[in-house]
Amino acid sequence: MNSANNAAVVVGVDGSESALRAVRLAATEAARRHRPLRVVHGFIWPLLHVPVSPAPDAPPGGGLRHRAEELIEAAVREAEATVPGLSISGEIIDGEAAAVLVGESPTAALIVLGDRGLGGFSALVVGSVAVQVAAYADCPVLVARGTQRPDEPVLVAVDGSDGSRRAADFAAETAVSLGVPLVALHAYRHPGSSGPGDMQPLVYDEAKLHGEQERMLTGWLTGLTEDHRGLRLTCRVVHGRPGSVLAEASRSAQLAVVGGRGRGEVTGLLLGSVSQSMLHHAQCPVVVVRAPQ
Question: pLDDT, tens digit, for every residue of 137-189?
Answer: 999 999 999 998 999 999 999 998 888 899 999 999 999 999 999 999 999 87
141-152 confidence digits (pLDDT tens): 999 999 989 999
Q: Centre a 10 Å sphere on the Cβ of residue 120 and count the other Cβ atoms it contains.
A: 19
Element (H, E) at 239: strand 233-239
Q: In what order do the strands lie in the sheet with 182-188?
A: 88-94, 37-43, 8-12, 108-114, 141-144, 286-289, 255-259, 154-157, 182-188, 233-239
Q: Residue 129, class by beta-carbon neighbours within 10 Å (0-12 exposed, 13-18 middle, 19+ buried)?
A: buried
**Phi, psi dihedrals of residue 72, rounded to the nearest 5°:** -65, -45
- Residues making up the chain, counted from first to last: 293
The b-or-e profile of 18-55 (16+ CB within 10 A means b, else e) is bbbbbbbbbbbbbbebebbbbbbbbbbeeeeeeebeee
Residue 122 is predicted with a pLDDT of: 37
Residue 12: closest CA among 25, 31, 28 = 25
Q: Distance between CA atoms of 81 and 27, rounded to whole angstroms?
A: 9
The alpha carbon torsion through 57, 62, 64, 66 (nearest 10 deg) reads 130
pLDDT 10s digits, 201-222 = 555 677 888 889 999 999 999 9
Q: What is the pLDDT of residues 17-65, one digit of tens each?
A: 999 999 999 999 999 999 999 999 998 755 544 445 555 555 555 557 7
For 119, list phi and psi in degrees, rounded to 5. -85, 0
